[in-house]
Amino acid sequence: MFEYAPAPESRSIVDIKPSYGLFVDGQWIDGQVRDKTVNPANEEVLAEVAWATESEVDAAVRAARAAYENVWSTMPGRERAKYLFRIARIIQERARELAVLESLDNGKPIRESRDVDVPLVAAHFFYYAGWADKLGYAGFGASPRPIGVAGQVIPWNFPLLMLAWKIAPALAAGNTVVLKPAETTPLTALVFAEICQEAELPPGVVNIVTGAGETGHALVSHPGVDKVAFTGSTEVGRAIARAVAGSRKKLTLELGGKAANIVFEDAPIDQAVEGIVNGIFFNQGHVCCAGSRLLVQESVYDEVLASLKRRMALLRVGDPLDKNTDIGAINSAAQLERIRTLSEIGSEEGASRWSPPCELPERGFWFAPTIFTGVTQAHRIAREEIFGPVLSVLTFRTPAEAVEKANNTPYGLSAGVWTDKGSRILWMADRLRAGVVWANTFNKFDPASPFGGYKESGYGREGGRHGLEAYLDV
């Protein structure tokens, strides 16, 4: 086995300011309340960030309303498209800076922020730029109208990518936005605000208000917001559904998941093992569609498990800025605590826990890649979303049993199927109650492809032509 020399990406490309205000009406305003955002890999304070109050959120919504009425909704689609293309190109130009900043604030490996997050962010803006002057061909009527002001609240696991999923279709359709990033990962959204200035986007079209749950609540319940889009936990999603109930606001919710990744005996086992690892350890398992329940056909269980353990022993956990790193830091102390608690419950309930030998850094928030075997459907680790690098392994004998176990969850966001047979893929895809079913791959994303869940995973679709619907008055 090769030893790897450290290959850290330089952080000198990012220029983090000591403190950030709120981006309202194309200007930076100070904000009355502030808190710190830290690097989860070493607990170093990165910057102070404003936590927007109700009156500051109100100012942002008013700015978005004025920009909607006076500029953006009346601008021809081909003109709006030019701004979106410009934003996409600036993102590409500043890609390295954005990737380093995302890894610093979130803890994800630079390999992922550089090769997955940021390229997909640019791709989303390019993709929706293309739709801005073709809305009449999207299948929602000949001349669909925008809705108005969108209030958007996003989580910390893919900070800039979730921003792109929300802002790109909203602007393409002619809406203006007020977006609140997660309190632990605000920095790339604040640089995005600078990018909007650089692109000379008219003031008020995009407003960024940082802060925690109260700021989010003030935004989604503001009477001047016409459309609410939320990605985050099922619990907060429910609270938001209650907050907007009875109003005329349109709502889309992208919530949690507990995906089954199903390996049949005829699957190419080496590829399947790569897919299992990618399914649960990508982004430290902080992925709503993570393949957190592995279902293996009993006849190949020993082979799959031995191969999975061999592969896991090669995963490199550590400095997110090192280009060799596979698994970075857990995003926050609170999330680490949640992962620890659920893992302890897994052991207490009788499942067997295994992690490869790996040294974790002393400072920061870290959790070794972990699998649980001997898991039954009744175990909490098989039912609840852990949102960390923890895999529960179950077995099945027949395809019908695989379907039944896979669907035995309150969630319905994604699933994976590994098999040599095309007919079996189609048979399974017809029966799995999940918004996305990957076949012989996992965690693949494309701006042209819709994404979203059933049941407690939420409603509405983001991405693709379908993603426009949420931002059009259809």
Please list the active-site residues. Answer: 254
Task: Please tell me whether residue 236 binds ligand NAD under the rule CB under 6 A.
Answer: yes
Q: To the nearest whole angstrom, how small is the minimum distance from the Cβ of residue 81 to ligand NAD? A: 26
Contacting residue, 95, 239, 241, 342, with ligand NAD by CB under 6 A: 239
Identify which of residues 21 and 216 has a Cβ nearer to ligand NAD in the complex. Answer: 216
Tell which positions 365-404 bind ligand NAD, by CB under 6 A.
385, 387
Q: Is 209 in the site for ligand NAD (CB under 6 A)?
A: no
Rule CB under 6 A: is residue 240 a binding residue for ligand NAD? yes
Work out which of 204, 216, 275, 463 binds ligand NAD, going by CB under 6 A.
216
Q: Which is nearer to ligand NAD, 240 or 317 (CB)?
A: 240
- Does 244 bind ligand NAD (CB under 6 A)? Our answer is no
Binding ligand NAD (rule: CB under 6 A), the pick from 114, 124, 180, 455 is 180
Binding residue for ligand NAD, selected from 255, 295, 329, 432, defined by CB under 6 A? 255
Residue 231 engages ligand NAD in binding (rule: CB under 6 A)? yes
User: Among residues 203 and 389, whose Cβ is nearest to ligand NAD?
Assistant: 389
CB of 464 to ligand NAD, least distance (A): 14
Contacts (Cβ under 8 Å, ≥6 apart) of 449: 463, 464
Of 104-112, 169-177, 180-188, 438-446, which part binds ligand NAD (CB under 6 A)?
A: 180-188
Of 152, 157, 325, 343, the one binding ligand NAD by CB under 6 A: 157
Q: Does residue number 80 form part of the binding site for ligand NAD (CB under 6 A)? A: no
Q: What span, in angstroms and rounded, lies between the C-alpha atoms of 269 and 267? A: 6
Residue 212 lies near ligand NAD (rule: CB under 6 A): yes
53 binds ligand NAD (CB under 6 A): no
User: SS in 3 state form for the chain?
Assistant: CCCCCCCECCCCCCCCCCEECEEECCEEECCCCEEEEEECCCCEEEEEEECCCHHHHHHHHHHHHHHHHHHHCCCCHHHHHHHHHHHHHHHHHCHHHHHHHHHHHHCCCHHHHHHHHHHHHHHHHHHHHHHCCCHHHCCCCCCCEECCEEEEECCCCCHHHHHHHHHHHHHHCCCEEEEECCCCCCHHHHHHHHHHHHCCCCCCCEEECCCCHHHHHHHHCCCCCCEEEEECCHHHHHHHHHHHCCCCCEEEEECCCCCEEEECCCCCHHHHHHHHHHHHHHHHHCCCCCCCEEEEEHHHHHHHHHHHHHHHCCCCECCCCECCCCECCCCCHHHHHHHHHHHHHHHHCCCEEECCCCCCCCCCCCCCCEEEECCCCCCHHHHCCCCCCEEEEEEECCHHHHHHHHHCCCCCCEEEEECCCHHHHHHHHHHCCCCEEEECCCCCCCCCCCECCCHHHEECCECCCHHHHCCEEC
Closest to ligand NAD by CB, 47 vs 212, is: 212
Choosing from 46, 101, 280, 288, the residue that interacts with ligand NAD (CB under 6 A) is 288
Residue whose CB is less far from ligand NAD, 311 or 380:
380
Integer Cα distance of 14 and 44 in angstroms: 15
Per rule CB under 6 A, is residue 183 in the interface with ligand NAD? yes
| 233 contacts ligand NAD (rule: CB under 6 A) | yes
Rounded to an integer, what distance in angstroms lies between the CA atom of residue 419 and that of residue 1?
Answer: 30
d(CA 8, CA 6): 6
Interface mask toward ligand NAD for 427-456; x: CB under 6 A: --------------------------x---
In whole angstroms, how close is the CB of 290 to ligand NAD at the nearest point? 8
Smaller CB separation from ligand NAD, 103 or 234: 234
Stretch that binds ligand NAD, among 105-113, 232-240, 262-270, 363-371 (CB under 6 A): 232-240
Only segment of 5-13, 17-25, 215-223, 272-280 that touches ligand NAD (CB under 6 A): 215-223
| 156: contact with ligand NAD by CB under 6 A | yes
Stretch that binds ligand NAD, among 137-145, 216-224, 274-282, 372-380 (CB under 6 A): 216-224
Using CB atoms within 10 Å of the CB of residue 229, give its burial: 0 to 12 exposed, 13 to 18 middle, 19+ buried. Answer: buried
d(CA 99, CA 384): 31
Q: Which residue is nearest to ligand NAD (CB)?
A: 216
The verdict on 213 binding ligand NAD (CB under 6 A) reads yes
Binding of ligand NAD at residue 285 (CB under 6 A)?
A: no
**Per CB under 6 A, which region of 90-98, 117-125, 236-244, 308-316 contacts ligand NAD?**
236-244
256 binds ligand NAD (CB under 6 A): yes
Smallest CA-to-CA distance from 186 within 366, 11, 22, 363 is with 22
| 300-326: burial string, b at 16+ Cβ within 10 Å, e else | bbeebbebbeebbeebebbbbbbeebb
Instruction: Provide the token pair at 351.
Output: 């499942």
Q: Which of 46, 81, 182, 390 binds ligand NAD (CB under 6 A)?
A: 182
Which residues sit at the interface with ligand NAD, rule CB under 6 A? 153-157, 180, 182-183, 212-213, 216-217, 220, 231-233, 236, 239-240, 254-257, 288, 385, 387, 413, 453, 458
